[in-house]
Amino acid sequence: MRRREMVWVAALWAAAALSACAGAKPAQRGAAPSQASHPEVDTGLETCAGCHAQATPAVAAQWREGRHGMALVACFVCHGSTGQDFRARPESVGCRGCHPLQVSSVTRDGRTQGCFQCHPPHALRAQGKTSPHPPRGT
Amino acid sequence: MVIAGVLIETLPGAEPRVAARLLSVPGITLHGGDGHRRIAAVLDAPSGETLEQLSERLLAADEEILGIFPTFVGSP
Amino acid sequence: MSVSRRDFLKTAAATSALAALGVPGQARADGGEAKWVKSVCRYCGTGCGLFVGVQGGKVVAVRGDADNHNAGFLCVKGYLLPQIMNAPGRLLHPMIRKGDGFQQASWDEAMGLVAAKFQEAVQSFGPDAVGFYGSGQGLTEETYVANKLFKAGLRTNNVDGNPRLCMASATAGYITTYGKDEPMGCYEDLDHAEVFLIVGSNTAEAHPVLFRRIVQRKERNPDVKVIVLDPRRTPTSRIADLHLSFTPGTDLAILNAMANVLLAEGLADDRFIQDHLAFGEGQEPNRTRADYERFLGDYTPQKASAASGCSAEDIVKAARWFGAPGKRAISLWCMGVNQRSKGVWANNLLHNLHLVTGKIGLPGSTPLSLTGQPNACGGVRDGGALSHLLPYGRLVANEKHRTEMEKLWGIAPGTLSPKPGFATVDLFRAMEEGKLKCLYVMCTNPGQSLPNVDRYRKAMRREGAFLVVSEAFHPTRTSELADVVLPAALWAEKEGVYGCTERRYQLLEQAVEPQGEARPDFQILCDLARRLGHEKLVPFRSPAEAWTEILTLTKGTAYDFTGMTRERLRQAHGLLWPMPGTEHPGTKRRYVRGEDPLVPADHPQRVKFYGRPDARAVVWLRPQKPPEEVVDAAYPMYFTTGRVLEHWHTGTMTRRCKELEHANSEALAELHPQDAARLGLATGDAVRVTSRRGAETFRAKVTEGARVGLVFVQMHDDQRMCNKITIDAVDPISRQPEYKICAVKLEKA
């Protein structure tokens, strides 16, 4: 354990030093994998769901027929835009904006149980029979 | 248990957006920001390994984060 | 006090990180936990409650208020609100026009110039040479100060606002039918309704959080029926059991035909009609039920079908579902009904359906007009900040009302002018004619949002005209035309009350300090009053002081919310008026015995329409009339405008949000495949849309949801403005323009 801590600390100090030496130039992203964000798409004309209805029909249909699709909670709400803020795998933290009670009810000591364990991505309808969340209106 | 003070560097101008997303990430507490490209935060993890995973996960999940730089590391 | 090793380390870690940040002044003393401040969404008239997350003096997050009507839900626009605070284009200093550009000025310099120009215009040309154009987005206290300053101080009724462009026909509909403005029902009725009649409203995109509630109701109760009347097949139609598409402008015939079926098939509530209704044509309740039935003889489903292009069977089915005995029915409508030259009549016809069936004043049975802006109801309609109104249901033209207001405001008898001021389109026409010399525009964007906009853009830049624009962002399509631009504090940087669709009033608390030199409009207007010598009229040190005065004006009116103190608003998650005492819980359903404090507890019937002298609501005989402009050989297609989910109003805020900028931000000309084929257009091709007033080029989007012969363009794009094309004809009663229908020709560009 101790060793891993040291590795982490050393690596990041090195990165910090690099950044300091580089002056105003921002530090380079190292560990982040490259993300597909469709720079070729004309977002003025196309929506994500429009193309994905053909490209990934099952996933698009899960969303479209689910509550989020019905309420037009579009792809970019969770995934970000096609720009730098695109996230292939949204974090549970994003759910908090609309579902604060539900997220806080599965958060203990600052740790949130991942929403997508019970609410499969795109359909987002809970699979289990019992809910850890308080009923609405209470 | 490892506690680290970190400076999170974001794309210029992205600080408020990144801070908003980080606000409820477990294990991270925000302490301030310059409103433009840097956030002061404390990471709190059971081990150095999870601390490392947390920082990697933040970098991977959030394209607007450019780097996470420790300013302090301690173990209670 | 003992500090654990862990806490010590955390403090040390935080301190080191903050030191590295290099701006210790922005660190929060309490250790950086976000502070959550109770507020309301900045955007549409749904009025979703939310909390603003503040850290280091900045808005960093929002989360929905689970204790408010929206049950914690927000739409994408609300969720992304933090981004607008620091978005590019925030105006941070006053600006004064110098030639074709602007020069930064001090507040004193800018306000000195504004006051001098207004004073000079009043002295040389009389009070009606100046005017105020406000907004359903301003806070109630801001609008109140402007209304009082102009009407009681400068003595002109030239005070109007953009609710004239979105709500005026709904207001006039409620007043003509019931004698009082504002809906009698509430959002909770959505949870009880068994039939939804949605007319001229794309609820799914324009009011997403209310739509979610409708979807939930239908999901839990599969027997619930949803009827949508809209020429376009919008996302709202996805939950429709019946969608009636029709030729634009023919819905009056359809609504009359539905009434015809209700009466012909015995679905009317005879007892309710006898007890509670009167019938009228023109302006007086001068007709009988027999007259009404004769009038409806012209509106058989077959005749309405011929006029509208939708099937007679569908009209009959819609009427039968709506009128089914024992089934609770709600109607929801928006700009498709209001933004029409026959908008008030269309509103009356919707009310008729509820009245003849007695489906009103019951949980789930109500006519509920949806509102476009967050404070159109609270600030402008209720507050009386339109050119013909005085606060809380009083009229400029009514001597008794003027005397009442003069007493309440402590001003000399005869101060208030008996002459109604100019309604919006007339206000800008007066500017065009040179009659109106100075205009103060607050929190809105007429340089983009007015119909036939190029005409009025010229008027705003006319030689001798002086335009002041108070805005959080610059340039906008209006501020670019201004002589003085004042930097207004944005949402979350100021405090005040918003009142939404269902008579729900809510306090938005200040969460952060205004940026740069920006000031809340409340403060700017009080400063203007001081400079014009009217500081005694608006001596308020804070919006809370103005609110205390506002409460006194509602006493004894149908609005009576004297029990809605600042402290109560601070604690509550929305309060519904009437609320005549601090112990009164508020009123979900008006006119209803046992709920509405203005209906005597021993009233013999379940409802009392106390708004009219005879306590009877009026069923109006309103014939089908065509829109102002119909298609012909030269302009063979209809043109209509509307909203999309991701953007709001003129896009000044949403178009500065990163995610939203990439989503649906470009105005496209949406066309049916048949029209596209005829014109040789494919998605992405440039198409020139021309009306008798103007033209604009858009890229085409070919979609099955469009109607043959109809082009749709969204209203939010400031670069491709649909309003160059729209018509500035207005409803003769409400003075609301007919944005929804005009005639155009299309050419491949």
ipTM: 0.85
- At C523 the pLDDT is 98
Tokens of B54: 């947390």
Quote the CA–CA distance of C683 and C699 in Å, as a whole number: 7
- At A90 the pLDDT is 85
Residues present in chain A in total:
138
| CB of B31 closer than 8 Å to CB of C33 | no
Search chain C and give the residue with CA nearest B36: C86
Report which residue type is found at C197: L
Task: With cut-offs at 50, 70 and 90, classify the pLDDT of residue B67.
Answer: confident
Quote the CA–CA distance of C591 and C23 in Å, as a whole number: 58
Which chains would you list as touching C if contact means 3+ CB atom pairs under 8 Å?
A, B
Secondary structure (H, E, C), C660-711:
HHCCCCCCEEEECHHHHHHHCCCCCCEEEEECCCCEEEEEEEECCCCCCCEE
User: Among partner residues C10, C23, C56, which is closest to B42 by beta-carbon distance?
Assistant: C10
Yes or no, beta carbons of B76 and C27 under 8 Å apart: no
Lowest mean pLDDT across C4-8, C473-477, C521-525, C726-730: C4-8
For residue B11, list chain C residues with Cβ-Cβ distance below 8 A.
Answer: none
Please state the rounded mean pLDDT for residues C173-181. 98
Yes or no, beta carbons of B72 and C13 under 8 Å apart: yes
- At A6 the pLDDT is 36
Yes or no, beta carbons of B3 and C6 under 8 Å apart: yes
C contact test, residue of B44, B51, B71, B75 with most C CBs within 10 A: B71
Which chains would you list as touching A if contact means 3+ CB atom pairs under 8 Å?
B, C
Yes or no, beta carbons of C53 and B42 under 8 Å apart: no
Report which residue type is found at C367: P
Instruction: Say which residue the tokens 């991977």 belong to.
Output: B60
User: Among partner residues A45, A74, A101, which is closest to C683 by beta-carbon distance?
Assistant: A45
Minimal C-alpha gap between C63 and chain A (Å): 5
Quote the CA–CA distance of A122 and A65 in Å, as a whole number: 9
For residue A35, list chain B residues with Cβ-Cβ distance below 8 A.
Answer: 63
Q: Residues 67..86 of A with a Cβ closer than 8 Å to B: which?
A: 80, 84-86
Task: With cut-offs at 50, 70 and 90, classify the pLDDT of residue A22.
Answer: very low
- At C552 the pLDDT is 98
Please state the rounded mean pLDDT for residues A86-104. 80
User: Among partner residues A13, A30, A93, which is closest to B21 by beta-carbon distance?
Assistant: A93
Please state the rounded mean pLDDT for residues C198-209. 96
The rounded Cα C435 to chain-centroid distance in angstroms is 28
Minimal C-alpha gap between A113 and chain B (Å): 9
Residue A7 forms contact with C (CB below 8 Å)? no
Quote the CA–CA distance of B44 and A110 in Å, as a whole number: 10
Q: In C555-643, which ranges are continuous DSSP H helix?
A: 566-571
User: Among partner residues C64, C211, C699, which is closest to A97 by beta-carbon distance?
Assistant: C64
| CB of C561 closer than 8 Å to CB of C554 | yes
Please state the rounded mean pLDDT for residues C93-105. 97
Strands (E), C225-344: 225-229, 242-244, 277-281, 284-287, 329-333
Tell me the pLDDT tens digit for each residue of C540-578: 999 999 999 999 999 999 999 999 999 999 999 999 999
User: Among partner residues A44, A81, A98, which is closest to C79 by beta-carbon distance?
Assistant: A98
Quote the CA–CA distance of C261 and C497 in Å, as a whole number: 44
Does pLDDT of C6 surpass 70?
Answer: no
Sheet holding C101-104, edge to edge: C101-104, C95-98, C484-487, C466-471, C438-442, C130-134, C159-161
Yes or no, beta carbons of A30 and B59 under 8 Å apart: yes
| CB of C591 closer than 8 Å to CB of C575 | no
- By three-state DSSP, how is residue C49 classified? strand
User: Among partner residues C14, C60, C86, which is closest to B5 by beta-carbon distance?
Assistant: C14
Please state the rounded mean pLDDT for residues A5-9. 38
For residue B42, list chain A residues with Cβ-Cβ distance below 8 A.
Answer: none
Tell me the pLDDT tens digit for each residue of C117-169: 999 999 999 999 999 999 999 999 999 999 999 999 999 999 999 999 999 99
Instruction: Tell which wins on pLDDT, A128 or C409.
Output: C409
- At B13 the pLDDT is 80
Secondary structure (H, E, C), chain A:
CHHHHHHHHHHHHHHHHHHHHCCCCCCCCCCCCCCCCCCCCCCCCCCHHHHHHHHCHHHHHHHHHCHHHHCCCCHHHHHCCCCCCCCCCCCHHHHHHCCHHHHHHCEECCEECCHHHCCCCCCCCCCCCCCCCCCCCC
Torsion of CA C403, C430, C731, C726, to 10 degrees: -150
- At A30 the pLDDT is 37
Tell me the pLDDT tens digit for each residue of C258-285: 999 999 999 999 999 999 999 999 999 9
- By three-state DSSP, how is residue B14 classified? coil
Please state the rounded mean pLDDT for residues A97-126. 81
Those residues whose C-beta lies under 8 Å from the C-beta of residue C664, and which sit 6 or more positions away, are A47, C644, C645, C646, C647, C714
Instruction: Tell which wins on pLDDT, C219 or C469.
Output: C469
Please state the rounded mean pLDDT for residues C714-729. 98
Yes or no, beta carbons of B47 and A4 under 8 Å apart: yes
Those residues whose C-beta lies under 8 Å from the C-beta of residue A49, and which sit 6 or more positions away, are A60, A63, A64, A69, A74, A75
Strand B38-45 vs strand B2-10: parallel, antiparallel, or unpaired?
A: antiparallel
Minimal C-alpha gap between A36 and chain C (Å): 16
Yes or no, beta carbons of C666 and A44 under 8 Å apart: yes
For residue A72, list chain C residues with Cβ-Cβ distance below 8 A.
Answer: 204-205, 208, 235, 645
Tell me the pLDDT tens digit for each residue of C637-661: 999 999 999 999 999 999 998 778 8
Average pLDDT, chain C: 95
Strand B65-74 vs strand B2-10: parallel, antiparallel, or unpaired?
A: antiparallel
Please state the rounded mean pLDDT for residues C393-401. 98
Instruction: Say which residue the tokens 């023919």 belong to.
Output: C250
Quote the CA–CA distance of C546 and C550 in Å, as a whole number: 6
Does pLDDT of C398 surpass 70?
Answer: yes
Task: With cut-offs at 50, 70 and 90, classify the pLDDT of residue A17.
Answer: very low
Rounded (10°) angle between helices C312-323 and C343-357: 50
| CB of C214 closer than 8 Å to CB of A51 | no
Strands (E), C250-310: 277-281, 284-287
| CB of C114 closer than 8 Å to CB of C146 | no
| CB of C203 closer than 8 Å to CB of C211 | yes
Minimal C-alpha gap between C729 and chain B (Å): 44
Would you list which residues of chain C are within 8 Å, Cβ to Cβ, of chain B? 4-6, 9-10, 12-24, 26-28, 31-34, 53, 55-56, 58-61, 82-83, 85-86, 658
Active site residues of C: 77, 166-167, 335, 372-373
Minimal C-alpha gap between C66 and chain A (Å): 7
Q: In C381-461, which ranges are continuous DSSP H helix?
A: 399-409, 424-433, 446-449, 453-460
Pick from C667, C673, C707: nearest CA to C686: C667
User: Among partner residues A8, A31, A86, which is closest to B51 by beta-carbon distance?
Assistant: A8
Yes or no, beta carbons of C645 and A72 under 8 Å apart: yes
Burial class of residue A47 (count of CB atoms within 10 Å of its CB; 0-12, 13-18, 19+): middle
Does pLDDT of C59 surpass 60?
Answer: yes
Pick from C111, C148, C112: nearest CA to C132: C148
- Cβ-based contacts under 8 A for chains B and C: 120
- By three-state DSSP, how is residue C740 classified? coil
Search chain B and give the residue with CA nearest A34: B60
Secondary structure (H, E, C), C347-401:
HHHHHHHHHHHCCCCECCEEEEECCCCCCHHHHHHHCCCCCCEECCCEECCCHHH
Instruction: Tell which wins on pLDDT, C419 or B12.
Output: C419
Q: Between the CA of residue C440 and those of C161, C253, C444, what are the distances in Å? A: 11, 41, 11
B contact test, residue of A3, A5, A8, A29 with most B CBs within 10 A: A8
Task: With cut-offs at 50, 70 and 90, classify the pLDDT of residue A20.
Answer: very low
- At C8 the pLDDT is 58
- At C254 the pLDDT is 98
Residue B56 forms contact with C (CB below 8 Å)? no
Quote the CA–CA distance of C320 and A67 in Å, as a whole number: 29
Half-sphere exposure of C212 (CA within 13 A, CB side): 21
Q: Between the CA of residue C204 and those of C163, C411, C495, C519, C547, what are the distances in Å? A: 21, 47, 30, 35, 34
∠ CA C179-C184-C188, rounded to 5°: 170
Residue A31 forms contact with B (CB below 8 Å)? yes
DSSP C81: T
Please state the rounded mean pLDDT for residues C691-718. 97
| CB of C635 closer than 8 Å to CB of C708 | no
- At C15 the pLDDT is 64
Tell me the pLDDT tens digit for each residue of C307-340: 999 999 999 999 999 999 999 999 999 999 999 9
∠ CA C110-C112-C117, rounded to 5°: 100
| Other CB atoms within 10 A of residue B2 CB | 23
Please state the rounded mean pLDDT for residues C89-101. 97
Quote the CA–CA distance of A121 and A112 in Å, as a whole number: 17
Percent of chain C whose pLDDT exceeds 70 = 96
Pick from C299, C344, C288, C362: nearest CA to C169: C344
Report which residue type is found at B37: R
For residue A31, list chain B residues with Cβ-Cβ distance below 8 A.
Answer: 56, 59-60
Tell me the pLDDT tens digit for each residue of B2-58: 788 788 888 878 888 888 888 878 888 888 777 788 888 888 888 777 777 787 788
